[in-house]
Structure 1
Amino acid sequence: MRTLKILTFSTLFPSSVRPTHGIFVETRLRELLKSGQVESRVVAPVPWFPASHPRWGDYAKFAATPASEQRNGLDVLHPRYLLLPKVGMTAAPLTLALGARAAVQKLIDEGFDFDLIDAHYYYPDGVAAALLAKWFHKPLTITARGTDLNLIPQYALPARMIDWAARRASASIGVCAALMDVLRGRGHDPARLHVLRNGVDLQRFRPLSPADMRADLGIDGAPLLLSVGHLIERKGHHIAIEALAELAKIRPDARLVIIGEGEERAGLAALAVRLGVSEKVRLTGALPNAELLKWYSAADALLLCSSREGWANVLLEAMACGAPVVATDIWGTPEVVAAPEAGRLVTRRDGPAFASAISELLDAGVDRLATRRYAEGFSWQATTEGQLELFSGIAKKVCHAT
């Protein structure tokens, strides 16, 4: 079997200045490359910005991103594209494709004449990739990951562009079945809709001694609850604080650690004060995986109070470290939390409902070894095998057609 050449395309990909941005895309690709049957180059565009200065925040990071780099053995190009104010949402697919076109041509000119484009995130990335696939006469797969299909199709023009890209793609991939149900409901061919879930790195995320980790992190009190993710409304960190306030009535030693950074930070801190739990809540900011490992191992449970999720990686990361989860019963989450040892699902997204589920989980007793064993059923092997079968089939069809 010949080596498949894959062009991975997404704005969701880590760089030297944003090392955790889109790390789930890089992880899936790295696991695929371990098969030895695939060769890949990555085109990960970033918005154009004129200068790098700390005062510009993420925009400064865009400017500081190198034009090309190598990450974990992967060659990555970061072409610039124009992200226009106000009209950016509707114009982004075209400006993204135009910005990346020269980089894709460069790869071909240098001898990497790829078999297919593997795009991640349906809008604008998947639509841009569909344009590139048309221009370069290449087949295409697009992976949906969450808000790209459970939120963006609410907007009429992006929805039409998503439908066009789905018709152009040889296959659409969802990290959970619920996302492919969206495309099925929009009338797309079920034969071209595939579910290839994310796995978890069982070596990177592994159980460490909870007592040792609590001592190392300077944590006292129990239970210790975590809420991990960007500090934005839909992640529901405010509900985690409300749940802690309810739980504190019967478990006054309970603590909550919120890991992440974002626009809601000041509001979350103010909410903790207003509910009288500020001394029980710690906001750490964003943390690297090595630190997350310690917190997951120290925690009694992870809370995920989101209003939307595709396949939330934090769920499996926590479970791989032995911490069960309490999560909103939405989208792909029931596909992850499907047994008592994994945790509990909450149908009503508010503080009291989460507090009740947390209390039920803790009263039943946390069996960290059972939770870890459950997570071990989510290795990357099945996803890698599914990709190889799908990509090989697409490449063979192209060969036969020519």
Structure 2
Amino acid sequence: MKIALITPAGRGSHAGNRATATRWARLLRDLGCRVRITAPEAAPEDCMLDGKPPDLVMALHAWRSHAAIVSCRRAFPRCPLIVVLTGTDVYRFQHSHPDAFLESLEAADALVGLHDGLDDDLPSRFLSCLHVVHQSALPLPKGAPRPSRRYLDVLVVGHLREEKDPLRAALAVRDLPADSRLRVIQLGGALDETWAQAARDEAGSNPRYRWLGDLPRWRVRRWMARARLMVISSRMEGGANVVSEACVAGLPVLASDIPGNRGLLGDDYAGYFPVADTSALRGLLRRAEVGPAFVDRLRRQVVARAALFTPAGEREALARVITACGLDA
């Protein structure tokens, strides 16, 4: 089977859409498929393999890939089309650009969501073709670094942009008591110079905060082994892969109370805080620092979710979506 996989994140990007596309290409090849990754601005002929139309088109991001979705639907009318919904799709562009968003969904034979909480967030007419694919993660390698004894490191992973509310953890550790061991380590590139300067300014005035920038995956995973906690403070998420990684790593998470986090961690998870609530996050961080039983509870909860995020499970979920489109995976 020949698959064209469209992603708005270009080659070499560390953005989540590119990581998803690269991982899915590998999993689909494991299923015996041939995969070509293309950009939304590519012409339909760039989605062809060996001069022939693809057997299937998969497009990540309903809004950013809208032009490619429409052009492929017209160029390959008999080719099944799968549209993968991101957080900004569902929680921003569905409302700010509804015409393009809905046109992409209407063109699709199947929709894919990345967490279990989308039923209340999409028009009901699309729910019958909605499938969930949980993004997978690999266990940390043996011999990975152990947590620091001097600091209680709190890890924040993700690009610095408005949707991530990236400096919330840094704000939460300002002005803590002198004997606190909490320290925030921020990993991820800045969307623009404004965010970069904000991170530099925070690091210059807040001794409990370090911004290390955009690091390769192996270094991110080493920091995951060193950290005691992870904070995911996003205002919107479509099902962040970093949550999967934390669960597989057994790394307790403090997460903003949004559907994208609840859809991965579960409604009964004990580590939620209201969006953009610095005081509430500070309270959870201090509770984690002084209460090992609380951290142990969070760790048990993330470990219990880890079985959802295996490569085999992700591959099987992709195969089920393909089968639902009338193709043999």
TM-score, normalised via structure 1 length: 0.71
Residue 177 of structure 1 is matched in structure 2 by 116
* Matched residue, 2:278: 351
SS at match of 1:231: coil
Q: Is the Cα contact below 8 Å between 2:248 and 2:306 reproduced in 1? A: yes
Q: Select the structure with the greater relative contact order (CA < 8 A; seq sep ≥ 6).
A: 2
Does residue 334 (structure 1) correspond to residue 275 (structure 2)? The answer is no
**Structure-1 residue corresponding to 2:310:** 379
Does the alignment pair 1:149 with 2:76? no
* Equivalent-residue separation in structure 2 for 1:318 and 1:392 (angstroms): 30
Aligned counterpart in structure 2 of residue 7 of structure 1, from 4, 7, 17 = 4
CA contact (8 A) 1:207 1:321 kept: no
- Is contact 1:337–1:345 with CA below 8 Å preserved after alignment? no
| 1:308–1:314 CA distance, 2 compared to 1 (3 A) | same
Report the identity percentage.
Answer: 22
* Alignment of structure 1 residues 17-36 onto 2, 5 Å: 17-18=12-13, 22-36=18-32
CA distance in structure 1 between the partners assigned to 2:114 and 2:158 by the alignment: 18
Residue deviations 1:142-165 (CA, integer Å, cap 9, x gap): 00021022111222xx31122122
Q: Does 1:230 align with 2:230?
A: no
Partner letter of residue 171 of structure 1? A
Q: CA–CA distance in 2 between the matches of 1:335 and 1:206? A: 27
Residue correspondence of structure 1 range 98-113 to structure 2 within 5 A = 99-104=42-47, 107-108=48-49, 110-113=50-53
Q: Deviations over 1:292-335 (max 9, x none)?
A: 11100000101111111111111222232232110101021012
Distance 1:231 1:189 in 2: 32
Larger radius of gyration: 1
Contact 1:207 1:322 in 2 (8 A): no
Deviation for aligned residue 1:284: 0.5
Q: Distance in 1 between matches of 2:125 and 2:245?
A: 33
Q: Distance in 2 between matches of 1:189 and 1:237?
A: 32
Amino acid at match of 2:19: I
Question: What do residues 179-200 of structure 1 show as CA deviations (whole Å, max 9, x unaligned)?
Answer: 453332xx53321122222222
**Which whole-Å CA distance do the structure 2 matches of 1:20 and 1:308 have between them?**
15
Q: Note the C-alpha offset of 1:389.
A: 2.4
Aligned length: 319
**8 Å contact 2:112–2:132 — kept in the other structure?**
yes
Residue-by-residue CA offset, 1:340-367 (whole Å, 9 max, x unaligned): 8x76111253221001122333413444
Residue pairs, 1:13-92, within 5 angstroms: 13=10, 15=11, 17-18=12-13, 22-36=18-32, 38-45=33-40
Which residue of 118, 128, 131 corresponds with 1:194? 131
Deviation of 1:210 (Å):
4.6
Instruction: Give unpaired runs (5+ residues) of structure 1.
Output: 46-95, 215-219, 398-402
TM-score by length of 2: 0.86
